Amino acid sequence: MIFATTGYAWGTLHGLNAGLSTNDVIGSGLNQSDGATDILLVGNDSRTDAQGNPLPEEILKQLRTTDDEGGDLTDTMILMRIPNGGGRASAVSFPRDTLVELGQGFGEQKLNSAMGRAKQAARTKLESEGVTDEKELEKKSTAQGQKFLVQTIEKLSGVGIDHYAEINLLGFYEMTKAVGGVEVCLKEPVDDSDYSGAVFDAGPQKVQGADALAFVRQRHGLPRGDLDRVVRQQVFMSGLARQMLSSGTLANPSRLSDLVTSLQKSIVLDDNWDVMKFAQQMQGIAAGNIEFHTIPVELDGSSGSEDVTADKQKVQTFVDDLLLPPKERAAKQQQNEAKEAQRAETTVNVYNASGVSGLAGEVRSKLGDQGYQEGDSGNAESMSKSVVQHAPGEAEVAQQIADSLGGISVEESSELTSGSAAIYLGDDYKGPGAQNFAGSGPMQLDGARQAKPQPAQEPSSGTEEQTITADGVPCVF
């Protein structure tokens, strides 16, 4: 966001901080020990403005929504990672329907409900303590909801979040109008008039206001439902970044003034955020140097009603890798693909040497979920130590197996043929399967590959990596 492009832009933005709404969301301040400034960007479907005032009926009509449709569901959650040295920023989306263990008595719930659940719990507590002022209730309970969402994303991603920015429906509506609209492109025409109100022709077009809201909110009628909505959000955010960084916005006093006004009315930041200092930090990041990704998720169940789940370790590894230079990240992705191929070519035979009933079958099923070919399972003579035995020259894939089972030992066996491994589960085994980790073999969507939109031209297959940046307008569903 190169706000220093013009003297007028810089001067206008100097007054932005004073008019913004803030909440005590982050707490102790910056945590850049991981090598980046990490910002959680949230799109909230709240029917209130940034000060907690209910939106008037006429505004709701402009937004093509009603007061009873919403709540405090976070339809958009994007973690932006800006390396401390600047250069290239990465943004990773968290699909709203991802099931996560929230804690605090909420159990396993969809990620987009975290803020609303914590907010309602905080409001109930405040009311029991005698707080009756509506604005106080709204502000304090909202802050608790925002804090809880930050903590939830931190646990899932493994990242310490430094800043928080939240925009509501009204802000999104007015911001897109202030910048003069955002260019998007659709592969096919859509008519979702019964739900989001999205009615668009195929091909490139510019959307703003209510049409922009409909574009990013549609999920009915899309091939992958909410995952394709995430793609819509990514291409829209990339286009918005490109538009905001353009001289057409920064050098236009009227547009810049409208943009600042819309932000002041509808965006909420953490109270540790100095917008001017952040703008200076972002001067070295051009529009094409922002990449958009999606965390790796799994779909389990029938199409249209599947559960969306995420493996915490895979998510954290994926998010960590975003700080790597593109070439290094691509090389690591190739290494991961090679390991996937190794797993697919390896048959695992699992033997229970611990005496725990059913353990071999559980572990074999777990390894099958990870892409290995399931072989035999059965009992073996008692052993105190667990071990993975491999054929000569195949220690690498055996080490993968051992690591996935909690770090058990590895040894070569001349009795095994190429492409097979034998796992003996001893008395010491405490890894997956010992905790009754049974799986039905969900379909995995790798965040770096299948969860990406396709490029404007049709690819030869649906698995090529396609990175969304703010340096182009890819066509999507």
pLDDT tens, 115-161? 999 999 999 999 999 999 988 898 899 889 999 999 999 999 989 89
SS3 351: strand
pLDDT at 1: 37
Cα–Cα separations (whole angstroms), residue 349 to 21, 263, 269, 358, 383: 59, 59, 54, 14, 16
Per-residue pLDDT band at 449 (split at 50, 70, 90): very low
Look at 294-298, 327-331, 341-345, 397-401 and tell me which has the smallest mean pLDDT: 327-331
Rounded Cα–Cα distance for residues 468 and 454 (Å) = 9
Integer-rounded Cα radius of gyration of the chain:
25
Token pair in block for residue 98: 């991802």
Q: Over 70: is that where the pLDDT of 246 sits?
A: no
Q: Mean pLDDT, to the nearest integer, of 236-263? A: 72
CATH, range 3-333: 3.40.630.190
Q: Over 60: is that where the pLDDT of 32 sits?
A: no
Q: Mean pLDDT, to the nearest integer, of 240-245? A: 74
pLDDT at 72: 62
Please report, for the chain, the start and end positions of each structural domain, with discontinuous segments joined by +. Answer: 3-333, 345-425
Task: Note if the pTM is more than 0.75.
Answer: no
pLDDT at 63: 65
Higher pLDDT, 23 or 459: 23
Per-residue pLDDT band at 68 (split at 50, 70, 90): very low
Continuous H helices in 15-111: 16-19, 57-62
Q: Mean pLDDT, to the nearest integer, of 244-260? A: 68
User: Which architecture does CATH list for 345-425?
Assistant: 2-Layer Sandwich (3.30)
Placement of tokens 């709240």 in the chain: 46
Query: Exposed, middle or buried, 323 (CB in 10 Å: 0-12/13-18/19+)?
Result: middle
What is the CB neighbour count within 10 angstroms for residue 239? 26
pLDDT at 197: 85
Q: By the 8 A CB rule, do 400 and 377 touch?
A: no
Which residue from 90, 136, 93, 135 is spatially nearest to 112, judged by alpha carbons? 93
Q: Mean pLDDT, to the nearest integer, of 442-471? A: 42
Q: Mean pLDDT, to the nearest integer, of 335-361? A: 89
Range list of β-strands (E), 248-384: 267-270, 290-294, 297-300, 307-309, 347-352, 373-379
Question: What pLDDT, in 10s, does the model give residues 393-447?
Answer: 999 999 999 998 988 999 999 999 999 999 999 999 988 877 553 333 443 444 4
Cα–Cα separations (whole angstroms), residue 60 to 21, 47, 70, 136, 181: 21, 8, 11, 24, 20
